[in-house]
Amino acid sequence: MIVVLLNFYLALLFILVKLRVVPFNMFWKVSPVLVLLLLLIGLFIPMNWGAPQGSVLVVRNSVAIVPDVAGEVIEVPVQANQPLKTGDVLFRIDPTPFQAQVDAIQAQLKLQETRLSQMTQLQTQGTGRAFDVEERQASVDQLRAQLEGAKWNLEKTTVRAPADGYVTNVALRKGARVASLPLSPVMAFIDTADTIVGVEINQTDARYLAPGQPVELTFKMTPGTVQTGKVESILQAVSTGQVHTSGAAVTPGAIQAAPFVVRVRIDDAAFARSLPAGSIGAAAIFTDRVKAAHVIRKVLLRQIAITNYINPF
C-alpha cells in the first residue's frame, strides 16, 4: 500500500511539473523521500498498533472418549466425520455382566426389604429388638447404594456424544476390548458447540487491544470474502511464560517475543460453525487509536482476501 501511495504521489508530481504548477527544484526532487518518511512515521508504523494484523486460526475442543466401564464392544453405529447431537450413541459395550450384577443386587435387596418389614412388625408387637431393625435397615441402605452404582455402570455401557460435534478417525470396531483407563482413549470427539477463533498479534502491536473491538477476518477456504467479528478476550498467558513443577533448577534459554493470542467471535454464527478446525487466514483488529490508518488496513485485508484465490500459503 505504501508503494501505491508513493507511486500516486510521483505521478501527481510529474503532472504538476509538466504543467509548470510547481518548479522542479531541489525541494521537489527530494520530496518523494520526505513523503516516504512521512508515510512511514506518521501512518504505516503507527498503523501496526492502531489496527494490528495477524494470522488467524480456527480450533475446536477435542474430547478424548474413554469409557467409564470395561468390556467388549458390540456395536459402533457412528460414522467418521458425521454430525452428531448431544446424546447420540457412539458405541455400545456388552451389558450382560452389568445387567447380571443389577439383577443380583435387586434380588438381595428384595430379600432384605422383606426381612426388614418382618423385623419392624415384630418390634411393633414387642417381640423384636430395635437393634435387629437397625441392622436390617443398614443392609437395605447399603444394597440400595450398590444398586445405584450397578445401574450407573449398566447405563455407561452405552457411550454417548458429550456435545454437538463429530468423531474423527473412527478405528473402533465390534469385538474390540475397551478399558476405563485415562490413558486409553478409543475415539477423538471434536466439539463443534463452540468455534474458537484465535488471532496472533505481535507483542509490540498489542498495547491498545481490548475486548469488544471490531475485527475483520478473511480465510483461505473462502477467498474474496471478509467476515466481521468482535474481540472476546486477550489470553493472559503463552507457553514461554508458564512455569512447570519440577525438581530442576531454572534452565536459562533464549527468550523470544512470542505473539499474544486474541480470541475473536465471528458475527455470522452459521459461517463460524461451517469452518473446519485448522482453517487459517488473516485478521485485523481496529482499536481506538490511529483511526486514519483503519481504511488502509481494510484495503490491505481485502487485497489478501483476493490473493487467496491463488496464494495457497
Q: What is the pLDDT of residues 14-30, one digit of tens each?
A: 777 777 777 877 767 77
Instruction: Report the C-alpha gap between 47 and 32 in whole angstroms.
Output: 21
Q: Do domains 51-60+194-238+258-313 and 62-191 have the same CATH topology?
A: no
Instruction: Report the C-alpha gap between 297 and 218 in whole angstroms.
Output: 13
What does the pLDDT look like over 70-79, one tens digit per residue? 999 999 999 9
Position 136 scores a pLDDT of 85
Give me the CATH topology for the region 62-191.
OB fold (Dihydrolipoamide Acetyltransferase, E2P) (2.40.50)
The answer to whether 71 and 178 have CB atoms below 8 angstroms apart is yes
Please give the model's pTM, rounded to 2 decimal places.
0.72
Question: Domains of the chain: which residue ranges?
Answer: 1-46, 51-60+194-238+258-313, 62-191
Instruction: Report the C-alpha gap between 213 and 199 in whole angstroms.
Output: 13
Homologous superfamily (CATH) for 51-60+194-238+258-313: Efflux pump adaptor protein, beta barrel domain (2.40.30.170)
What does the pLDDT look like over 218-240, one tens digit per residue? 999 999 999 999 999 998 877 77
